[in-house]
Chain A
Amino acid sequence: MQIPETLKKKAEEFVFRYPEDKRQSALIPLLFEVQRELGWITPESEVWVAETLGVSAIKVREIITFYSMMRAEPSGKYLIQFCQNISCCLMGGVELQRHIEEKLGLHPGETSKDGLFTLKCVECLGGCSWGPMLLVNEDQYFQLTTEKVDRIINGLRAGEPVPADNPTPLLGNVAGEKVS
C-alpha cells in the first residue's frame, strides 16, 4: 500500500510543531491524520508512522491501544459514537441507545454488512447540557429524540445528511433561543 503524498506533507507539518528532537510528540496527530485519510490505521501505515517519526514500533502500538479513538481495524463509512454517560442517561439516553441499536440492527462495536455504519458507545462526549448526544464521524448532534435519531440515520442512508449542530447551542432544550 502506498502512503498518500498528502499524508507525507501533513507529517512534515506536524513535526514542525515540536522541538527538533521531540518528533514522538507528533504521534497522536499523525495517527489521527492516517485514519482520517485511510479510514483506519493499517499495519503498513503504522510502520510508516514509526519510521517517519523515528520511534520504535512498540511506541506506536502503545498509543493505538491506549487511546479509545484510535482505530486499528476498518469501520463503516459512518462511525456513530453514542454517549452513554450520566447526563445523557438522565435525559433518556438509555432508551435511546436501545432505539439506535434496533434502528441500525447493530450492537455496540459492530459494523453493518453494507459497510455503511459502525456503532460505538462511548463515555462522555462533553455535550452534557444538550444531551443525549452523538457524533457521526466529525459532526455533532445534540438534544436527541427518537425522531431526530431517525432523521439522522435516514438522512445518511439517503445520502442527504441532516445538518450538524455546529456550533453548539447556547441553551439546552430551549433550542435556538438568542442570548439577550
Chain B
Amino acid sequence: MIGNGSTLLLSRNFAVDNMASIDVAMKNGAYEQFKRALKMKPEEVTQVVKESGLRGHGGAGFSTGTKWGFVPKDKFPRYVTVNGDESEPGTCKDRLILERDPHLLIEGALICAYAVQAERIYIYIRGEYFYPTMVTARAVQEAYAKGFAGQNILNSGWSCGIHMHNGAGAYICGEETGLIESLEGKKGWPRLKPPFYPAAIGLWGQPTIVNNVETLAFVPRILEIGAEKFSSLGSPKNGGTALYSLSGHVNRPGVYELPMGTPLMDLIDKFGGGIPNGKKLKAVIPGGSSSHILTAEECENLPLDFESVAARGSMLGSAAVMVIDETVSIPKLMHWMVRFYAHESCGQCTPCREGTDWLLRLSKKFLDGTARRRDIDDMWELADNIDGKTICALGAAVAWPTKSYLVKFRHEFEAACRN
C-alpha cells in the first residue's frame, strides 16, 4: 500500500485500471472541481489555494497561492507552465502522476490557468520521460475532445490551449527561469532574479506561473475537500500531504503519500520496511541530492516538513529521501553527487562551471587513494566560493551537500588521505 490509507489525495486513484483515460478518470471525479472553479471568480480560486497552505513541491517550497497572486493585473497574455522536468537525484514522484493520473494534473493546471487568466498552458516534461510524456500527451488530446481545453471552455467565455513540450536532457531546465529559456528554444541558462520573477516577466516577457507537477495536481483536491481540511492534514505552515520518493537502502523503496510532517524514521521503518540485511543506518539525504546530509542521530524525531528539516540544517526540497546504510563510504557518495552537478552545470557562471569541475577532480582523488589532507580544505574552500555566487541555485545545490559531507564525516575523508 501507499500512504496510511486515510489521507490519500494524489495517489488514491493510482492503482485504478486505465485511470489515464478520460472516461475512467471522469467516473472517478476528474474535472468536477474545474467545473466548479469556472463558476467562481478567478481571484476567489487563488484565495482558496492561498488559504490551504499549499507550498511548491518542486523544491523551493514557496506558497503557491502567493505566487499566483504576483501576476500583474494589467498585463496580457499570460501563461502557465507545468514543470515536469523532475531531475533532482532521488526525486521520482511526478513520473507517477504523469503516468497514472495525468488528468489530475491537467485539471490542476486548468484551474491554475483560470485563476490567473492565462491563455495557454505548456506542459514541460524532461526528455528522458518518454512513457510519461506519451500518456500525458494522450490525456491532453482527450481533454480537448471533451471541451475542457480550447475555445470558450464549457461556455465560460474563457479560452485556454494546452501544449506539450519536452526537454532534452538538462537538469538546469528544472529551474523555473532555465525552463522558460528552454521553452523559448534556447540553452537553459537561468535568468537573474530578483528583480524580475516569472510571475511578472516570464515566458516571452509575459506573466508566467511555473508550478511543479505535484503542486498543480493538489489543486483539484484542495477545491474538493476545502482549504481548511487540506491545511489540517499537514503540520503548521505545511498544508496537506506530500509524495515522498524513498530510495536507497530500504526494504520497500517507492513513492509514499503521507501527511506533511510525517516523522522521517516512520517513513524509513514503518513504510519503507527498514534497512535490508540487518545493516545499521548511517545517514539520510532528506530532500534530494542537493540537501545537507543528516547523520543517523540527526534523523531521530524529525518531522518531514519544510520548517522542521530546515531547523535541523537541511531542507525538505522535493521530499526525496535517500537512505544510506553503514556500508557506504561517504567520499564515494560525495563523488557520485559532485559528478552529477559537474555534468549538469550550465556553464553560465564561472564559480559553478569551474568550481564543480575542480570539486569533481578532488573528490576522485579520495577514491583513487591519491588525496592529501589539504584536498579536504581545498574542497571546502571551493564549495564556499561557489555558494551564493551564482545566478541560480545549482551552485548552492553542490556547495551545501559538499560542506555537510566534509563537516559531518570529516574522519572518513581524513582516513582516505595519504597523509
**Residues of A participating in the B interface, judged by any CB pair closer than 8 Å:** 17-19, 22, 24-29, 31-32, 53, 55, 59, 62-63, 66-70, 81, 84-87, 89-91, 122-131, 135, 138-140, 164, 166-168, 170-174, 178-180
Expressed in whole angstroms, the Cα–Cα distance for A154 and B339 within the complex equals 31
Q: A24-B185, A67-B170 are in contact. Are A85 and B96 (CB under 8 A)?
A: no
A140 touches B131 (CB 8 A): yes
A68 touches B170 (CB 8 A): yes
Of A62, A124, A179, the residue contacting B89 (CB under 8 A) is A124
- CB closest residue in chain B, given A127: B92
Expressed in whole angstroms, the Cα–Cα distance for A44 and B285 within the complex equals 47
Of B94, B251, B340, the residue contacting A85 (CB under 8 A) is B340
- The list of the 3 closest CB pairs from A to B, nearest first, reads A172-B253, A69-B169, A67-B168
B252 touches A22 (CB 8 A): no
> Which residues of the partner chain B approach A89 to less than 8 Å between Cβ atoms?
336
Expressed in whole angstroms, the Cα–Cα distance for A131 and B344 within the complex equals 20
Expressed in whole angstroms, the Cα–Cα distance for A32 and B169 within the complex equals 11
Of B90, B187, B246, B251, the residue contacting A86 (CB under 8 A) is B90
B225-240 interface bits toward A, Cβ cutoff 8 Å, 1 = contact, 0 = none: 0000000000000000
Of A25, A138, A173, the residue contacting B185 (CB under 8 A) is A25
A66 touches B92 (CB 8 A): no
Expressed in whole angstroms, the Cα–Cα distance for A123 and B336 within the complex equals 9
Q: In chain B, residues 167-204, which have Cβ atoms closer than 8 Å to a Cβ of chain A?
A: 167-171, 182-188, 204
Count of CB-CB pairs between chains A and B under 8 Å: 183
Interface stretch, picked from B29-37, B104-112, B121-129, B148-156, is B121-129
Is residue B320 contacting chain A, with contact meaning CB distance below 8 A? yes
Q: A85-B89, A129-B247 are in contact. Are A174 and B131 (CB under 8 A)?
A: no
- CB closest residue in chain B, given A172: B253
19 chain-A/chain-B pairs, Cβ below 8 angstroms: A17-B164, A17-B165, A22-B204, A28-B166, A28-B185, A29-B166, A32-B168, A63-B168, A86-B322, A86-B336, A86-B337, A87-B90, A128-B89, A130-B92, A131-B247, A167-B99, A172-B253, A174-B254, A179-B15
The CB with the most chain A CB atoms within 10 A, among B185, B251, B339, B343, is that of B185
- CB closest residue in chain A, given B134: A138
> Which residues of the partner chain A approach B285 to less than 8 Å between Cβ atoms?
86
A128 touches B339 (CB 8 A): no
- CB closest residue in chain B, given A35: B168
Of A19, A27, A128, the residue contacting B247 (CB under 8 A) is A128
Q: A86-B333, A90-B328, A129-B253 are in contact. Are A167 and B128 (CB under 8 A)?
A: no
> Which residues of the partner chain B approach A127 to less than 8 Å between Cβ atoms?
92, 95
Given contacts A67-B127, A167-B135, 9 further A-B pairs with CB under 8 A are A68-B169, A85-B89, A135-B130, A139-B130, A139-B131, A167-B131, A168-B96, A170-B254, A173-B252
Expressed in whole angstroms, the Cα–Cα distance for A122 and B89 within the complex equals 12
Rounded to whole Å, the gap between the CB of B164 and the closest CB of chain A is 8
A85 touches B135 (CB 8 A): no
A124 touches B340 (CB 8 A): yes
A170 touches B249 (CB 8 A): no
- CB closest residue in chain A, given B246: A129
Q: In chain B, residues 51-87, which have Cβ atoms closer than 8 Å to a Cβ of chain A?
A: 86-87
B89 touches A87 (CB 8 A): yes
Expressed in whole angstroms, the Cα–Cα distance for A105 and B319 within the complex equals 38
